[in-house]
């Protein structure tokens, strides 16, 4: 599967929401 950077972007979003 192509790594389009979106997986990483969702991980960053989830982390930022858990540890604002």
Where on the chain is the footprint of another protein (CB under 8 A)? 4, 6, 9-11, 13-15, 17-19
Minimum CB–partner distance for residue 9 and another protein (Å): 5
- For 5, the 3-state DSSP assignment is coil
Minimum CB–partner distance for residue 6 and another protein (Å): 5
Q: What is the rounded CA–CA span in Å between residue 3 and residue 20?
A: 26
Q: What is the largest CA-CA distance in the chain?
A: 30
Minimum CB–partner distance for residue 18 and another protein (Å): 4
């Amino acid at each position: 599967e192509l790594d389009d950077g979106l997986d990483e972007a969702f991980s960053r979003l989830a982390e930022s929401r858990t540890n604002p």
